[in-house]
Amino acid sequence: MVLVAVRVLAETYPSELSALLGLRLFAVQRLLESFERDGVIVSRSVGRTRLVALNPRFFASKELSALLWAMAKQDAELVSKLALKRRRPRRPGKPGLP
């Protein structure tokens, strides 16, 4: 389910996946490390956050992406959880932000 969530979200980070999927952060981090070692996903650092996404250079990238998308369509609960996730930044100057 971790790869399905990464496919649907396009780019995400371990703690977001942990919260959305109800898994322990450590378990998600270990899975992501394994997928990255195998070349399935790539990561990049943005500040202190490590963003992960599917690797477009993976030899079966198109097929994997299509399979994960088909799996996501079958899991209505996961899709609804991911759809409710706020994906855009907050407006600058909004109360509570520095």
Predicted TM-score of the model (pTM):
0.81
Asked if 66 and 5 touch (Cβ cutoff 8 Å), the reply is: no
Q: Which amino acid is at 93?
A: G
Q: Cα–Cα distance between 53 and 10 in angstroms, integer?
A: 6
Q: What does the mean pLDDT of the chain come to?
A: 88
Domains located in the chain, CATH noted: 2-79 (1.10.10.10)
Which tens digits make up the pLDDT trace of 35-63? 999 999 999 999 888 999 999 999 999 99
